[in-house]
């Protein structure tokens, strides 16, 4: 085989040097691209861009040096000098760019600061800013005022709607009362003639007027919506048992018994007409059956009491207490007292409790509790006609013999109280009801020195009555009361030797003798 000669490549040939130069140029161009891609004026020596650029530059120089040295055309010392020159040129260029960038940024900040300073420091600009602030505050105040006015108008509209609703409800109830009164009048025409008709008409008109126009002296309370909802059933059984004119009285009884709630709204489970359910409180589990039994039983009591009309209050009271106590009470009260009396109700309750070994029996105040819900009887409740006297009696059924100490000089009983008595001491058992002698306004209702628990009523015309030594007070200061209204109970509080009522009467600020023309005492 022929021998092929190969040419040996000499170190430092032109091709080798050119290849090293080309590599060096590529690395330098890459370094410039990295540098140009960074944002001028924002790069510092610690930034990632600077670090990358420096490394590329170093690697480029090292590669170039290695290429040149490898070529053998120049020595290591010469290569180092070339590299140092290039580094110096590059560093100077970078410093110039950095300085230029910093100067430009400082100029911008200075210009911006100058502009802001001018805005703050210029008086005209300050006045303008103040005017803008004042306008903004005024606008906010207007908006707040508009919001407040809107809220007031909304609340006012709500009150108007509520008042209108109440007026409509009041008118509806008034019409209902008038209708019931008309029915009562129709029943009275057939039962007792013209005299009863006149009484019914007067009662209905008087009660309706007070109900609609209002009167602070009345303590009438309307029945609940739950009771009103039973009106159709009440009317149904009232017609069935012959007492359609007593619908309002039945409602008052239901209101006192249950307020119209529960399955036994008339609490009739213990009466004789309950044949289906246990004879115990709330034993009936059907409201209509309860109303059926209760109305039937109330009808019997009205018949036993011989009630003639919805305004025959004495007999209605007797019937109501009979509904609470049971069938044995009415014959007992008629035989012993000729009818209803509060003291008789208390006596019967005590007798029955003792007889059965119970702590109490029934509700001696049942009549009063029911009549507060009865519009026809509320305004005449416990009003006592005492003849020609100017004041009513403070205790029902009191007689002259009940006065244990008269007005004027006396020896102090047991060393207690004054030697000149400025009133009447009226002896009655503890707890006996005390009534207002005349309509007026309560000015005192509380502890009053030697009088103990005391009530003072101003009747106008410089006339006042004083009720001392009470065990209980049932009115409040500022409350208006009517003649004969229950206000408290006999007691022995303060300077007292036993249960009694001290009644004082003041004219023009001075105590006077009540027995001289002011009281008519049997």
Give the pLDDT score at 145: 76
Give the pLDDT score at 27: 61
Q: How far apart are CA 177 and CA 182, in angstroms?
A: 9
Tally of CA atoms within 13 A in the half-sphere of 489 that contains its CB: 11
Give the pLDDT score at 214: 41
Least Cα distance to 181 among 212, 158, 151 occurs for: 212
Least Cα distance to 426 among 350, 505, 348, 364 occurs for: 505
**H-helix or E-strand containing 178?**
helix 123-192
Evaluate whether 503 touches 510 at the Cβ level (below 8 Å).
no
Mean confidence (pLDDT) of the chain: 77
Report CA-CA distances (Å) from 238 to 76, 203, 226, 251, 259.
Answer: 133, 21, 18, 11, 19
Torsion of CA 57, 61, 66, 71, to 10 degrees: 130
Q: Give alpha helix (H) positions in 357-462.
A: 366-371
Beta-carbon contacts of 337 under 8 Å, excluding residues fewer than 6 positions away, are: 344
Condensed to tens digits (0 to 9), the pLDDT of residues 134-186 reads: 878 888 777 777 777 767 666 666 666 666 666 666 665 565 566 555 555 55
Give the pLDDT score at 138: 81
Q: Residue 479 in 3-state DSSP?
A: coil
Give the pLDDT score at 299: 96
DSSP state of 116: H
Q: How far apart are CA 134 and CA 137, in angstroms?
A: 5
Q: CA gyration radius for the chain? A: 54
Give the pLDDT score at 417: 58
Least Cα distance to 436 among 491, 410, 478, 474 occurs for: 474
Beta-carbon contacts of 108 under 8 Å, excluding residues fewer than 6 positions away, are: none
Give the pLDDT score at 38: 46
Q: Residue 430 in 3-state DSSP?
A: coil
130-155 burial: b if 16+ Cβ within 10 Å, else e: eeeeeeeeeeeeeeeeeeeeeeeeee
**H-helix or E-strand containing 102?**
helix 76-121
Give the pLDDT score at 175: 59
Evaluate whether 91 touches 37 at the Cβ level (below 8 Å).
no
Give the pLDDT score at 72: 46
Long-range residue pairs from 372-375, CB within 8 A, at least 24 positions apart, any chain: 372/219, 372/220, 372/221, 373/220, 373/221, 373/222, 373/223, 373/251, 373/252, 373/255, 373/256, 374/248, 374/249, 374/252, 375/177, 375/207, 375/211, 375/220, 375/248
Evaluate whether 209 touches 242 at the Cβ level (below 8 Å).
no
**H-helix or E-strand containing 454?**
strand 453-460
Q: Is 173 exposed, middle or buried (0-12, 13-18, 19+ CB in 10 A)?
A: middle
DSSP labels, 288-315: HHHHHHHHHHHHHHHHHHT--STT-HHH
Please state at what angle helix 231-240 crosses helix 247-257, rounded to 10 degrees.
Answer: 120
Evaluate whether 247 touches 360 at the Cβ level (below 8 Å).
no
Backbone angles phi, psi at 409, to 5 degrees: -65, 145
Please give the angle made by the CA atoms of 125, 126 and 129, to the nearest 5 degrees.
85
Provide the token pair at 212: 């609609």
**H-helix or E-strand containing 350?**
helix 342-356
Report CA-CA distances (Å) from 57 to 28, 43, 78, 82, 91.
Answer: 7, 16, 18, 14, 11
Instruction: Count CB-CB contacts under 10 A for residue 45.
Output: 9
Total H helices, total E strands in the chain? 13, 12
Give the pLDDT score at 327: 83
Q: pLDDT below 50 — which residues of the chain?
A: 1-14, 16, 38-43, 71-74, 115-120, 188, 191-192, 195-196, 199-200, 206, 208-218, 379-387
Paired strand residues for 454: 446
Please give the angle made by the CA atoms of 273, 278 and 279, to the nearest 5 degrees.
55
């Amino acid at each position: 085989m022929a021998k092929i000669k190969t040419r040996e490549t000499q170190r430092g040939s032109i091709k080798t040097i050119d290849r090293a130069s080309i590599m060096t140029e590529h690395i330098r161009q890459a370094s410039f691209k990295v540098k140009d891609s960074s944002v001028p004026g924002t790069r510092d020596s610690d930034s990632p861009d600077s670090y990358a650029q420096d490394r590329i530059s170093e690697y480029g120089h090292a590669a170039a040096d290695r290429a040149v040295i490898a070529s053998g055309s120049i020595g290591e010392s010469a290569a180092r000098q070339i590299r140092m020159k290039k580094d110096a040129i590059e560093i100077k260029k970078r410093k110039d760019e950095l300085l230029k960038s910093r100067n430009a940024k400082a100029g911008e900040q200075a210009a911006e600061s100058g502009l802001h300073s001018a805005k703050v420091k210029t008086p005209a600009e300050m006045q303008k800013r103040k005017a803008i602030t004042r306008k903004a505050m005024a606008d906010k105040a207007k908006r707040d005022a508009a919001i407040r006015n809107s809220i007031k108008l909304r609340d006012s509209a709500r009150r108007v709607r509520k008042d209108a609703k109440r007026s409509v409800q009041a008118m509806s109830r008034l019409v209902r009362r008038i209708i019931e009164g008309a029915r009562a009048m129709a029943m009275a025409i057939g039962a007792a003639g013209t005299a009863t008709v006149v009484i019914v008409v007067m009662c209905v008109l008087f009660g309706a007027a007070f109900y609609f126009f209002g009167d602070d002296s009345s303590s009438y309370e309307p029945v609940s919506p739950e009771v009103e909802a039973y009106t159709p059933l009440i009317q149904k059984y009232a017609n069935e048992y012959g007492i359609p004119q007593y619908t309002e009285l039945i409602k008052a009884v239901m209101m006192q018994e249950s307020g119209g709630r529960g399955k036994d709204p008339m609490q009739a489970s213990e009466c004789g007409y309950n044949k289906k359910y246990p004879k115990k409180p709330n034993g009936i589990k059907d409201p209509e059956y309860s109303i059926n039994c209760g109305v039937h039983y109330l009808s019997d009591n009205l018949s036993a009491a011989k009630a003639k009309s919805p305004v025959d209050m004495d007999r209605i009271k007797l019937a109501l207490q009979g509904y609470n106590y049971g069938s044995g009470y009415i014959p007992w009260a008629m035989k012993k007292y000729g009818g209803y009396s509060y003291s008789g109700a208390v006596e019967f309750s005590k007798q029955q409790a003792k007889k059965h070994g119970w702590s109490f029996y029934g509700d001696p105040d049942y009549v009063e509790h029911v009549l507060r819900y009865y519009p026809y009887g509320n305004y005449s409740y416990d009003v006592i006609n005492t003849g020609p006297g100017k004041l009513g009696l403070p205790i029902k059924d009191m007689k002259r013999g009940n006065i244990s100490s008269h007005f004027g000089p006396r020896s102090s009983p047991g060393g207690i109280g004054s030697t000149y008595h400025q009133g009447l001491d009226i002896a009655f058992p503890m707890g006996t009801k005390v009534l207002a002698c005349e309509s007026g306004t309560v000015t005192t209702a509380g502890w009053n020195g030697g009088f103990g628990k005391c009530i003072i009523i101003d009747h106008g015309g410089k006339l006042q009555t004083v009720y001392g030594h009470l065990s209980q007070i049932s009115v409040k200061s500022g409350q208006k009361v009517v003649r004969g209204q229950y206000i408290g109970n006999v007691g022995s509080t303060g300077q007292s030797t036993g249960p009694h009522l001290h009644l004082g009467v003041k004219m023009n600020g001075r105590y006077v003798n009540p027995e001289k023309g002011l009281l008519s005492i049997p």
